[in-house]
Amino acid sequence: MRKPAGLVLIVVTLLAWGCPIQAILAAFGLDERTIADWRDRACQHCQRVHEQLVVQQNLDLQHVQLAEIRAKGVGKVIWLAMGIMVPTRLWLGGVVSVTRDRKLADRLFTKAGARLC
């Protein structure tokens, strides 16, 4: 990367907290493609960490809660379904869909609950 690591950390943190990309562009004078690249790299890193620390571990999954959240966006509604290990509040995984249906539940179970069987 050609920018200081501290700037990357600030931008990724702002994105994680929901700061609009346009605000980051205005504040730091970065290119939109640069911000998208940093976001995508951070997402890939988080996915690898999740795979190593959560998915591949032998967790005590006696009490898991599966839930869904309805979120409104500009002109649309999306659903976030997630699985949480209740005693530790560890997020086991989640999926997003524009429809609340059996496919959403099946994808969540495959992602977060497959090891319950």
Average pLDDT (7-22) is: 94
Its pTM stands at 0.59
* CB-side neighbour CA atoms (13 Å) of 44: 6
Number of alpha carbons in the 13 Å side-chain half-sphere of residue 5 = 0
pLDDT at 117 over 60: no
Q: State pLDDT tens for residues 66-114.
A: 889 999 888 899 999 988 888 888 888 889 999 999 998 888 888 766 5
Average pLDDT rounded to a whole number, residues 23-39? 95
Segments making up each domain of the chain, as ranges: 5-55, 64-116
Among 54, 69, 71, 43, which residue's Cα sits nearest to residue 113? Answer: 54
